[in-house]
Amino acid sequence: MLVTAALAVSLVAAPATADSGSPPTMTGKPSTELPAEEVRLPTGDTARLLSEAGTVSIDPGEGRDGVRFTTVRLGERSYVLPSDAHGRASSPGNPGQAHELTAGTPATRQSRDDTCARDTCHSLTVRHTGPDGEATDGASSMVLGLDNELMELGADTAKLEFDLPEGRYMIVTDVTDFDDPEADWHRLVRPLLVLDGDTELHMDATTTRPVGTELADPGARPALVEVGVGNQAGDVPVSVSLRADAFSGLHTAGIGPDGDADGHDGLTSFVASTWAHPNADGSYLGSPSTYHLLDTIEGSFPTGYARTVVPEDLAAVTAEHLSQTPGNGATKAMFGTAPGVDHSATVFLPHALPSTTTHHMEPGDVEWSSAFGENRENGDGRVEDVTALGSVARSYEAGRDYTDRWNASVVGPMFLWSEHAVRTDDELWFGMPMYSDQDRHQGGSRTDSASIRLFEDGALVAESETGHLNASLSPGDAELRLESRTSRGSVSDLSTRVEATWTVTSASTGSEQERLPLRVVRYQPEVDEWNSVDARGVLRLPFTVESQPGSNAGSIEDLSIEASGDDGDTWSAARVVPRGDDTYTAIIRLPRHGTEYVSLRAELTDSDGNSLEQTIERAVRLG
């Protein structure tokens, strides 16, 4: 079963079970911390909310393939409405209504008539006409406040009556057989309704036109389709999208005064889709190529949509997916944003490991980030992520070819932002992605153990097992020692233990921020698709030393690399050859026989006395 999602730059990992260790944890600067609230809906579907971004992932329940979903973002609140729940939306308290996810519970969104007790209200009458031109009960309408966080729902009647406070609203109407996932779906949007008196609105499905996209690749099929609209015209930002697994049967219409729905400032609509090649069993495992489209329409909601896409219209990214542990698989998703579209839905497609796939990407102003997870089947038969990797958003040019590689060793700590260890006055925040791959994809991992400890002048002052740490420090100068220790030997063959200890001096900063002068060592061996190194007798290992961006780090004075072929029982010094600009080569002599993995230990001290001790057990597999 495919999991659809709308995320910014992160991915949602499967929750841990009692015997599987902790789930993948990715830590970056504080503003990108995106904890997932998982909500099991009464319909059997699972929704996950990324609290800061306000974006939602949806996993349809058992036997619910083909169900369409409406997601709503209303100010700071997020909702999801399965298609077969629309028809019960007018029954207050019914669990089939729109489910509010913001609180992390499947709370039903109910009418807010009490606002009329305080404000001037007017009646809004919405009449529904079906595609046959007759009045229809097979419809629902949603009223969304642009000046307040008000949402009203009504359904199962040809005429709806709402009492609403005076103000501006967006109206979304759906006409369909909500209980039939194969029925035609007509979505009508009135982007702006100024309610300053009693008003009647006619939402007529005969005005809708088909929505579709054609690809030049005849073997590709849609895995996910999304038609959305975002409205920034009022005090409350509003976005609504409809998610389906195909274009078939989708119709849209923009409704406005005198039939004119164009020219609305702050309005951006979009049509997005993800395509892949299905197997005989309908799955997308092994698809040689995928397509990721995101087309925006400024100022209006489209009445129908037709697009033909040829290869020259897109960028081509050839992506290699390497294997950390033989027998594991992977999932991967692309997340698109564009001016006026802060998120769009996506689908996690399955990939064999190792594998190579060509991703055809929407170019231009669209920015794409990616999420990749190596996964395994646990003892309960459930697939769970082992490693979770994410990329920074970027754009592409039409007609150009690009390459990308995922999951390459050595997997270890990495600086992605300038805010992994920041002191403000006497408050410290720390978070380090300890399982990032060689190609700078920020990463986390399911672990057997994980801890962070902070010492101030030798005394333990804070500790955490969450992947990041907040701590209060004493005023004045102090020596700080940060220890981040993780292990994952039960879930991965490589980087089975990753540890780093930083010792730095720091002082109170007042209102200014100090980025602590931390460093990490990043290794870049030449690896094959199984993450094996072809070395006989001597391993020449390129590596770099990186400091936290924005920090005032001194120059490196002492640097050593040690290697172990017995998981750290014994260590041998490597010869370190400088190559300039904080790049080096470690010359490591290998045992003649019986060594399958090489562990690496680095130690360094800079001119200010700050130091690093970093250990990666089973960093490299020998071929």
**Whole-angstrom Cα distance, residue 386 to residue 378?**
10
Pick from 239, 293, 243: which is nearest to 269 by CA?
239
Do residues 338 and 294 lie in contact, with contact meaning Cβ atoms separated by under 8 Å? yes
Could you tell me how many residues make up the chain? 623
Beta strands across the sheet bearing 238-244: 107-108, 99-100, 77-82, 69-74, 238-244, 221-231, 267-276, 289-298, 355-361, 315-321, 401-406
**Whole-angstrom Cα distance, residue 536 to residue 534?**
7
463, pLDDT greater than 70: yes
Angle at 226 between CA 57 and CA 341, to 5 degrees: 80
- pLDDT tens-digit map of 310-355: 999 999 999 999 999 999 999 999 999 999 998 888 889 999 999 9
User: Which value, to the nearest 10 degrees, does the dihedral of the CA atoms of residues 514, 515, 516, 521 take?
Assistant: -170
Do residues 85 and 96 lie in contact, with contact meaning Cβ atoms separated by under 8 Å? yes
- pLDDT tens-digit map of 5-53: 332 223 222 222 223 345 455 443 333 333 455 688 888 888 876 545 5
**Whole-angstrom Cα distance, residue 93 to residue 97?**
8
The pLDDT assigned to 545 comes to 98
The pLDDT assigned to 117 comes to 66
Stated pTM of the model? 0.89
Q: How confident is the model at residue 378 (pLDDT cuts 50, 70, 90)?
A: confident
- CB atoms under 10 Å from CB of 260, counted, come to 10
Pick from 451, 447, 456, 496: which is nearest to 469 by CA?
451
- pLDDT tens-digit map of 89-104: 544 444 346 778 765 4
Q: How confident is the model at residue 263 (pLDDT cuts 50, 70, 90)?
A: low
Average pLDDT, whole number, for the chain? 88
The pLDDT assigned to 512 comes to 87
Do residues 284 and 277 lie in contact, with contact meaning Cβ atoms separated by under 8 Å? yes
Q: Which of helix, strand or coil describes residue 247?
A: coil
**Whole-angstrom Cα distance, residue 244 to residue 568?**
52
109, pLDDT greater than 50: no
Q: CA–CA distance from 119 to each of 111, 166, 296, 352 (Å)?
A: 15, 8, 36, 58
